[in-house]
Amino acid sequence: MYSYLKGTVTEIKSNGITMDVNGVGYDVRTPNPYDYKMDEELKVFIHHYVREDAIHLYGFKTTEGKSLFIKLLSVKGIGPKSAIAILASGNVVDVIGAIDRGDAKFLTKFPGIGPKASQQIILDLKGKIDLNQDSFAKSTNITDVEDALKSLGYKVKEITKAVKGLDGNESTDVLLKEALAQMLK
């Protein structure tokens, strides 16, 4: 029904944001709502979720995030709460890569995803999600940096914040230096 909303963030809540679009406030559930800023003008890609007892708008910064969310909803036993938790905790390209590799262990690190659910995700989605090779290479460099920072003793939250704006096209060495510089700010 909706493709995207373009407007201003007027409220940030624990499970999403409120956007003012031409004088109408939309309650949009998002992964990582605190990544948004108050009064920020932005475009959010929307999935309109309808059930007999609930109607919600789920918003994503990228079309890839929206597409993965919709694919995850098609998996037996995965609802919007689990799908949003996966997107809140993981990089879209990493999640798609784990599904294509059949890496159930990677998927079980997400809240609400146990061994059974991770196997179901792999069974239902393996080979059905297009993985751009450039994005995969970019993701591998970022993953290497994340692993290096973990081995240095940094917490996951600190690591996620540090690698957020990195350009994965750079070498791992350059990315690691940039991430460490970001952490010292």
How many residues in the chain? 185
Residues 146-167, mean pLDDT to the nearest whole number: 80
CATH of residue 90's domain is 1.10.150.20
CATH of residue 43's domain is 2.40.50.140
Of 125, 158, 173, which closes a domain? 125
Per-residue tokens: 3: 């493709």
If asked whether residues 51 and 75 sit together in one domain, one would say no
Residues of the domain holding 169: 133-184
Which residues sit opposite 11 in a β-bridge? 18
In this prediction, residue 169 has a pLDDT band, given cuts at 50, 70 and 90, of: low
- The pLDDT of residue 138 is 52
If asked whether residues 75 and 93 sit together in one domain, one would say yes
Compute, in degrees rounded to 10, the torsion defined by CA atoms 33, 160, 96, 26. 10
* Residue among 37, 41, 15, 36 at smallest CA distance from 27: 15
If asked whether residues 46 and 98 sit together in one domain, one would say no
| Domain tally, the chain | 3
- The pLDDT of residue 132 is 55
- Residue 16 in this model has a pLDDT that exceeds 90: yes
pLDDT tens digit string along 82-95? 999 999 988 888 89
Higher pLDDT, 181 or 27: 27
Specify the pairing of strand 24-29 against strand 54-60. Answer: parallel
Higher pLDDT, 146 or 25: 25
